[in-house]
Amino acid sequence: MRAALKEARRALGQTSPNPVVGAVLVIDNRIVAKGHHRQAGCLHAEIVCLRDFGNAVPAAATLYVTLEPCSTTGRTSPCTDEIIKAGLKTVVIGTVDVNPRHAGRGVTLLRGAGIKVRVGVLTEECTSLNEAFNKWIVTGRPFVIAKCGMSLDGRLTRRPGESRWITSAAARRHAHTLRAQVDAIVVGAATVRIDNPRLTARSAQQARQPWRVVLTRSGKLPRRAHLFSDRFAERTLVYRGKSLRTVLTDLGKRNVTSVLLEGGGEVLGQALEARLIDKVQLYVGPILTGGPVVAFPGRGADVTQNAVYLDRIAYQRLGQNVYITGYSRFSERHPAA
């Protein structure tokens, strides 16, 4: 299953609005074929794996797949049909698909065809692989990641004329990989006016670019900004006078499964106050800047119990910077709506 997970990760950021899936075929404890779903509309991982083997599947073979095989016809035929047709006798599944159209149905069909099915191997890893898809397919709203580089005192402030960067080049390179794994990047109008960002994923292997989303009250934006004048201008969306919640709902309808909030502070503050953040990815620089531009401004929690707590927190040192990730949760007294 770890080999199947590794195979699935090869397509991170490329399969939306489909989940990422990996599969391996094992005979006599040896992997003889591999496959992963490359992008929406392409063959699913199980089929790619079976075709990679290229021969009749012996009875001793076991197919390992990170996600329950699909059982309905979409852009491709049901994987369950192909697995049954191939003559497989044993299938190991990492996790059940949360998609209401599929959930458990694929397992039932395979077992009904006489196939031995084991479910729940490395379930946590297989589930987290598709955390964005899982939220979107159930709620219709994208998975929201709040990302920023900030000083030790939680500021985004920079003095006029100084370098715009609070974090190091190594931290920025690390953060840049996020863009290749999300469907959309959201910023406020002030970020466009001050920083003139490109908000692109600049990987040589990048097959598609994320949507660039701008939130503005006035609608007064510099038309010569990169977002409106570069070769990806058609990938820029502007929302005027809309709440962040409304924007996220609309993006979900556009098949956007994941959103990266890159700033500025006002957008991050709105997301925090509205309890819209699913995950935080913070890069903390070894400086104290002071100043008025706070990473997460707003009214703030009136009491500690009303703050947004984080679970599954991880810390990583990147040179002199600290990279922090965590998933938001609400106290038992104030559960999420």
Active site residues: 46
Rounded-to-integer distance, Cα 53 and Cα 49, Å: 6
Token duo for residue 189: 């109008």
Rounded-to-integer distance, Cα 285 and Cα 115, Å: 54
Instruction: Give the dihedral sign, CA 267/273/274/277.
Output: positive
Strand partners, 155: 294
The DSSP call for residue 7 is: H
Residues 80, 70 contacting (CB under 8 angstroms): yes
Rounded-to-integer distance, Cα 159 and Cα 24, Å: 53
Distances (CA, A) of 123 to 66, 291, 328, 337: 8, 45, 21, 26
Query: Residues 6 or more apart from 288 whose CB is under 8 A from it?
Result: 151, 152, 153
Rounded-to-integer distance, Cα 199 and Cα 263, Å: 11
Helices (H) and strands (E) in the chain, counts: 11, 13
User: Residue 221: phi, psi to the nearest 5?
Assistant: -125, 145
Rounded-to-integer distance, Cα 281 and Cα 327, Å: 9
Rounded-to-integer distance, Cα 269 and Cα 271, Å: 5
Query: Residues 6 or more apart from 286 whose CB is under 8 A from it?
Result: 152, 320, 321
Query: Residues 6 or more apart from 204 whose CB is under 8 A from it?
Result: none
Token duo for residue 124: 């946590």
